[in-house]
């Protein structure tokens, strides 16, 4: 088993060996907080890492005396998941995502393995690892729900205070394979396809989501779905344009798509858009941004602890994404895990 050593700052290296004989190191290990910062060097088209480098001196001066600051750069997609799992098993105090919603999403997925929460090797004191976030992505939509300003210094202050609050996590299961977790918004059909295209245009900042949506409309067909809420009866929804399962309020770089969702509500807000045409999207875009679209014809909102979504006539081509990451195609079931992770708020 790996043991914490004195490390005021270093890269998170699972193969680390530890000097247990160093009394200073041993004492420090038990009183200092171990914080692992998972940094996505490609976030926000490369600006995440530039902002992170600028932030580091402040982070060291603000936290360095009381915390071991471990920096871990991701080497590619999904690496953040492995880093997080390893850090939790080592019993660190917090794993902090530095980047956008995609990085946060991967860190959240690292809190689980094989359908269960990951826990520390050392279980005896009921210790849990908290989730933290320094929002430095393109959209950074999750942070908006919590009302966080786009200021990494504020994020450092939150981490310094270390106050924890339980947040709900969504779990997505398909016909096969591992369950998948999300913290922000999962969505189906047009918006999911738009997110898939938007990832190609991140260099345009938040405009990438609008470009992605317009591209997604080309060749788009609204589809008839059936949904089952809280294990009730199947209900038909005709000509669905998009179905969004919100654990938080915003997606697509500031669209307030599920305006009544909150990650401590213990349920989802499900918003369903039906029979939208591309020009409806243009005409009603401002309502999507300010969250007033629920009063628009063909937009409905439901509360759910779980929701199953299927096509009435299966094409196997209906996109699903969660937290802006492409996840495959329908059918899927979305279930809330109330208070599943403690977050530094
Ligand atoms: N080293 C890496 N090289 C390439 N891609 C990476 C690397 N590390 C992480 N990624 C991928 O980068 C993607 C985007 O990251 P992230 O969400 O942090 O930034 P963003 O897309 O700019 O922000 P947002 O999601 O808030 O709009 C994620 O899907 C992640 O898998």
Atom of ligand 1 at shortest range from CA of 97: 18
Between the CA of 45 and the centroid of ligand 1 the distance, in Å, is 8
Neighbours of 25 (CB within 10 A): 16
Between the CA of 229 and the centroid of ligand 1 the distance, in Å, is 32
The binding-site residues of ligand 1, defined as CB within 6 angstroms of any ligand atom, are 40-44, 74-77, 99-103, 106, 137-140, 202, 324-325
Alpha helices, DSSP H, located in 165-206: 190-198
Whose C-alpha lies nearest to ligand 1, atom 11?
Answer: 77
Between the CA of 326 and the centroid of ligand 1 the distance, in Å, is 12
Atom of ligand 1 at shortest range from CA of 105: 17
ipTM of the shown complex: 0.97
Homologous superfamily assigned to 9-162? Probable inorganic polyphosphate/atp-NAD kinase; domain 1 (3.40.50.10330)
Q: What are phi and psi of 298, to 5 degrees?
A: 70, 15
Q: Which of 39, 103, 201, 251 to mutate to test the pocket of ligand 1 (most atoms within 8 A of CB)?
A: 103
Residue appearing with tokens 């300003």: 149
Q: What are phi and psi of 124, to 5 degrees?
A: -70, -25
Does residue 101 have an active-site annotation?
yes
Between the CA of 315 and the centroid of ligand 1 the distance, in Å, is 29
Per-residue confidence in pLDDT tens, the chain, 345 aa = 333 434 444 455 543 322 223 333 434 444 689 999 999 999 998 999 999 999 999 999 999 999 999 999 999 999 999 999 999 999 999 999 999 999 999 999 999 999 999 999 876 667 899 999 999 998 899 999 999 988 999 999 999 999 999 999 999 998 777 899 999 999 999 999 999 999 899 889 888 988 998 899 988 999 999 999 999 999 999 999 999 999 999 999 999 999 999 999 999 999 999 999 989 988 998 999 999 999 999 999 999 999 999 999 999 999 999 999 999 999 999 999 999 999 999
Beta-bridge partners for 48: none
Beta-bridge partners for 7: none
- Among candidates 233, 326, 340, 249, which has minimal Cα distance to 288? 249
Cis peptide before 185 (omega within 30 of 0): no
pLDDT at position 23 is 34
Q: Which of 39, 41, 79, 100 to mutate to test the pocket of ligand 1 (most atoms within 8 A of CB)?
A: 100
Are 180 and 333 in contact, with CB atoms under 8 Å apart?
no
Between the CA of 90 and the centroid of ligand 1 the distance, in Å, is 25
Whose C-alpha lies nearest to ligand 1, atom 2?
Answer: 76
pLDDT at position 178 is 85
Domain spans, the chain: 9-162, 180-338
| Catalytic site residue from 34, 82, 93, 101 | 101
Atom of ligand 1 at shortest range from CA of 75: 1
Strands (E), the chain: 9-11, 33-39, 67-73, 94-99, 112-113, 116-117, 130-135, 164-173, 180-182, 185-189, 223-229, 234-246, 268-274, 299-304, 306-311, 319-322, 325-329, 332-344
Q: Which of 74, 102, 110, 138 to mutate to test the pocket of ligand 1 (most atoms within 8 A of CB)?
A: 102
Between the CA of 43 and the centroid of ligand 1 the distance, in Å, is 5
Buried b (16+ CB within 10 A) or exposed e, 57-89: eebeebbeeebbbbbbbbeeeebbbebbbbbbb
With 0-12 / 13-18 / 19 or more C-beta atoms within 10 angstroms meaning exposed / middle / buried, residue 226 is: middle
Q: Tell which CATH classification among 2.40.70.10, 1.10.10.60, 2.60.200.40, 3.30.460.20 matches the domain 180-338.
A: 2.60.200.40
Q: What are phi and psi of 17, to 5 degrees?
A: -105, 155
């Amino acid at each position: 088993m790996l043991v914490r050593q004195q490390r005021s700052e270093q890269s998170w290296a699972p193969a680390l060996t530890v000097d247990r004989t160093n009394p200073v190191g041993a004492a420090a290990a038990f009183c200092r907080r171990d914080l692992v910062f998972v940094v996505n060097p490609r976030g926000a088209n490369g600006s995440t890492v530039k902002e992170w480098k600028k932030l580091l001196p402040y982070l060291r001066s603000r936290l360095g005396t009381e915390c071991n600051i471990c920096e871990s750069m991701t080497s590619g997609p999904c690496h953040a998941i492995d880093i997080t799992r390893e850090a939790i098993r080592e019993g660190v105090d917090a794993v902090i995502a530095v980047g956008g919603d995609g990085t946060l999403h991967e860190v959240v997925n690292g809190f689980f393995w094989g359908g269960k929460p990951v826990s520390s090797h050392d279980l005896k004191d009921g210790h849990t690892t908290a989730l933290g976030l320094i929002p430095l992505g393109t959209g950074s939509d999750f942070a908006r729900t919590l009302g966080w300003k786009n200021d990494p210094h504020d994020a450092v202050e939150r981490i310094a205070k270390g106050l924890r609050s339980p947040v709900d996590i969504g779990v997505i299961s398909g016909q096969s394979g591992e369950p998948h977790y999300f913290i922000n918004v999962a969505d189906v059909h047009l918006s999911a396809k738009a997110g898939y295209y938007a990832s190609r245009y991140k260099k345009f900042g938040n405009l990438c989501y609008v470009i992605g949506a317009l591209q997604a409309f080309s060749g788009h067909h609204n589809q008839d779905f059936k949904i089952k809420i809280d294990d009730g009866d199947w209900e038909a929804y005709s000509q669905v344009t998009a179905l969004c399962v919100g654990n938080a309020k915003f997606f697509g770089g500031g669209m307030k798509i599920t305006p009544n969702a909150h990650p401590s509500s213990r349920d989802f807000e499900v918003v369903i858009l039906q029979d939208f045409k591309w020009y409806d999207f243009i005409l009603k875009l401002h309502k999507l941004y300010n969250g007033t679209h629920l009063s628009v014809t063909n937009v409905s909102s439901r509360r759910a602890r779980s929701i199953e979504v299927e096509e009435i006539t299966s094409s196997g081509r209906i996109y699903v994404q969660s937290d802006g990451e492409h996840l495959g195609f329908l059918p899927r079931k979305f279930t809330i895990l109330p208070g599943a992770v403690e977050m530094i708020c």
